[in-house]
Chain A
C-alpha cells in the first residue's frame, strides 16, 4: 500500500514541479521591466551565454553540415538526385537541425553553467543577501539571463546554419565534386526566407526561452547543498532536452 502512496506522491510532486515552473515564468516576466535598469548585466550575460558558446556552436555546425553533406549525397545518389544536395541540406538545417541542435548544445554549454551559478548563489545565501538589501534577485540575476538566452539563441542558430552550409559545401562541392552552380542555384530556388529561415528563428527564440527558463528555475530552486547543485545541473540538461524536442514537434506541426 505504501508503494502506491509513494508513487502517488511522486506524481503529485511532478505536477507541482510543472506548476512551479509555470509560476516561475510568470515571475520572471513580471521582473523583466525592473531588470531593464540592469541592461549592462544583460549585455554581460549575452556575452557569457552566447558569445562564449560560439566555438562549440561553430565546430558542431561545421561537422553537422559535413555529415549531412556525406549522408544525403549517398542517399540522393541512389535516386540520381545529387543536384538537390544544397536544397536538402539547407532545408533540413534551417527548419530542424539548426534550432534543435543549437538548443541541445546550448543546454549543455550555457544552461548548466547558469544552473550551477545560481545554485551556488542559493547555496551560499547570496540570493537571500540580495533580498535583504532590497535587490530583487529575479530582476538582477534571473531575468537578465533569461533575456540573454532569448537573444543569444537565434544568433547562435544562425551561425550554426551558416557553418553547416559551409560544411556541406565543403564536402559536396570540394570533395565529392558536385557542381558549385547547381548546389547554390537549386538551394536559392527552393528555400524561402519566411517559410524556412524565419520559421527556424521563431523556433530558436522559443528554445532560448525554454532552455534558460529551465536552467534558472533549477538553479533558483535547488537544494542548497553541493549534492543539490549537482542534481539540479543534471536535471537542467535532461529537462531542457526533453522540452526542446517536445516543443519542436508541436511548433513544427503549427509552423508547417
Chain B
C-alpha cells in the first residue's frame, strides 16, 4: 500500500503541486490523468524523490506505513529500484546505449546486493522472459539499438520489476509507441500488477488508455487533484466540471457538413518510392528500402480524406511526395490534373499547403509572425496588400492582426498551431495536408483546432488530407479513410464503414488495439 498525504511541491519558489493525496492498495492501478503541465510527472518524481535542484517538498509519502519523505538519500537509493520501480515515456533513450540489456537488468539486482553476479544474470534472463523477451530470441548480450521501441520498453519494465517492487510507477509508458505495441505493453502491465500484487501508479494524458487500465482514476489540474474515484463511477458521474470538460474534449466531434464534388482534386496513381540505405562499407552495394509500394487513391474536391498507419508504414514518405518535395521512382501524382513533382510550377505548389505536427518546430524562431506567414508568397510574388492579407489570415484562424509583430515563442502551443494554419491559408490553397496536425496538442486545445479546421473547410471549400495515428480523431473529422501498412494501402473506404465493419485483417487489429473511451 502506497499513500501520498498532502504532497506539495515548490520548484524554485513556484508551486507545482498542491495538497496531493492518493492511496493505491496492492494489486490495484491508479490512473493519474491531466493535460500537460498539470503536475502528473512531478507527483511521480516526488514519490521517487528524484526532483530537480531547488525543489521543496512537503507532506508525506508512506510505503507500507513507512514514511519515505524523511529518509536519507542513501536509504532512498535502497527504496528506488528495490521497493519502487519506475518506467518512463521514451524507451528509445531510456536505456544506456553502450551496455547490454542483460547487464542493465542485472544491475538492479547487483546494486541492491540482492544477488551475486551469476545469479543476477539468471534472474535477469527469467525477468526478461517474463516481460516477453524470450532468451532464445533476445539473449542477454543484446544492445538496446538492436531492439524496437516496444521491446526496449519491455526491457525497461524488466529492470523496474527485477526486485518485485511494491509500487510500479509508469509515466506515459506507451505514449511514444504505436497502438498495436501500446496494446501489448498495456496488457503486460495489467498482468504484472495482478500477478505480482504490486500497486501501480499509471500516468497518462490519454483518457481512453486510463479507462482501460485503471481501477481508480485521479484527475489533475494545475497541480491539484480535482476529482478522484473508482473508474466506473467516475466516468459515469463526472462530478467535477473539469473532468467533464476533459472527457467531452476527448470525444469531441466537430460539426461538419461537407460538400464533396465528384471531380478528383488529388490523384495518386501507383506511387512507388525507394530509399537508399547507408552504403555497406566504402565500395559496398547500395541497398534500397521500398517506403511507398504502389499506392493509388483519389481525393475529391471538398473532401476530408484520412490516412492512418503506424510508424514506418510509409505515410511520411508519401506525404513528402504529395507535397512535391521528393520524386517518385514510378507512378504519378496529379493535382487538379497537373503533374506534381519537385520541379512543379510555383502556382501549382501554391494550391497545396501543409500544417505539421510540432507547434514548436514549425517556425523559424528568429522570424516575426508577419514574415513567417508571408513565406508562401514566395510562390506568388508579394501582393500589394500583403499586410492586409497577413491580418486577414490571422483573423481567419481566431488570432488578432496585431499578433503579426510578435515572435513565435510568445504564443502557446495551440496558438502556434493556429499560426501554422494561417500560413497554410494565406496563399489561398485548395488542398491542405494536415500531417499529424493535432497530435501534439492537449485534448481541449485539440477540440478547438478541429472546430477551426471544420469551419475553414466550410468557408473556403477546402479539401483536407488528414494524416494521423490517432484513430478516434480520424473517425470524427474525415469522410473517407485509407489504412496504410508496409508502404501499401491495405484498406480504403467511407470512414464510418471502415470503422464499423473493417474488411482488412490489419484494420481489425488496429481497431482492436486502439483503446476506446466508454460512452457516458
Are A and B subunits of one complex?
no
Taking beta carbons and an 8 Å cutoff, which residues of A are in contact with B? none
Taking beta carbons and an 8 Å cutoff, which residues of B are in contact with A? none
